[in-house]
Amino acid sequence: MDHTLNIINVPGWAAVGILLLIASLPLSLLLTFTRHKAAKKQDSGRPDWSVPSIDAYASQTSFFHTWDTRVKIITLFICCFIIVSLENIASCLVALTISCLSVHFCKIPWHRARNRLLAMTGFLSMFLIVIPFTSPTQSGETILLFPLLSSFPFHVNGFYVALVIILKACSVALLMEPMFGTASLSATLHALRRLGLPSSITQMIMLSHRYIFVFLQEVIRMYRGMKVRGFTPKTDIPTMRTMGNFLGMLFIRSYERTQRVHEAMLSRGYHGLIPTFIRFELSMKDIAKGVLWLIIGITLFTVDRFAPMLSP
């Protein structure tokens, strides 16, 4: 190895503490989610198959709800790209704080943001496990040698990179709540159409969001019928056969329903375009909000680039 490396042999007790600290966040999120799901299942008496609605809280009033949807989407997308380009961990922490404050002030319950972050936990946790042990060795960096893992040195620079990636991913994920959860789905899709997104894509998103709840009710009815007939899920071949038949019937019923829905749309004059009656009115207040967010993003990017030069 390079003689300029700072190699530290970590004692056994310190190694256990570091590993527990790294695993504490994903484990805490997983335990919280598990308890939440178990409580909902116990209260309802059946499996929780709920699907959150994207615009369930679009009727609230906040800084983001009164913002023109087109300007809001463009501005927050630009801010997301700025956050992704950050390199300093302090700047990433500031970005995460801004995203948390945005979720708080848009008046959307925190359990939605928590579930969104939980869905990313497994993937992001792999960065903390893989990158520190696989990053290339750099001159002057600090390397930790854990007991029984001396052939797999822990690169502190790699751990720093993993933390930066995780902070940026969480910041962008949290910004999705004020971006898409503070306006009705139809308004958001219409704004995307006005911004150049093809109409076919917006229609597919709208129909998918609408009928996923219809199919969900079909799943609940079918499962309830199975339970009434004495079905008890187990880890065996008969249960797998029953669930296979269940999924097959669900596919057939879903296909038949989509055929009926398409025929109903054609009978009502559908010719590839769903009319909308949403009108956007751009005001100076909307532009001022966009300029404010862009100033925050540009300031954050500037400080991130010049922070290494300003640091002692």
DSSP label at residue 136: P
Number of structural domains in the chain: 2
Average pLDDT, integer, range 248-272: 86
pLDDT of 126: 82
Q: Is residue 251 part of a domain?
A: yes
The answer on 294 and 253 residing in a single domain is: no
d(CA 4, CA 111): 47
pLDDT of 128: 80
d(CA 96, CA 174): 8
- 294-307 confidence digits (pLDDT tens): 999 999 999 988 86
d(CA 193, CA 157): 43
The answer on 16 and 122 residing in a single domain is: yes
The answer on 269 and 253 residing in a single domain is: yes
The answer on 130 and 221 residing in a single domain is: no
Which pLDDT band holds residue 10 (cuts at 50, 70, 90)? low
Domain that holds residue 139: 6-184+282-310
Q: H or E segment at 145? A: strand 142-145
The answer on 207 and 290 residing in a single domain is: no
- 200-254 confidence digits (pLDDT tens): 888 888 888 888 888 888 888 888 888 888 888 888 888 888 888 888 988 888 8
Residue 162: which of 128, 121, 130, 135 has the closest Cα? 128
**Averaged confidence pLDDT in the chain:** 80
pLDDT of 51: 55
Q: Is residue 239 part of a domain?
A: yes
The answer on 161 and 59 residing in a single domain is: yes
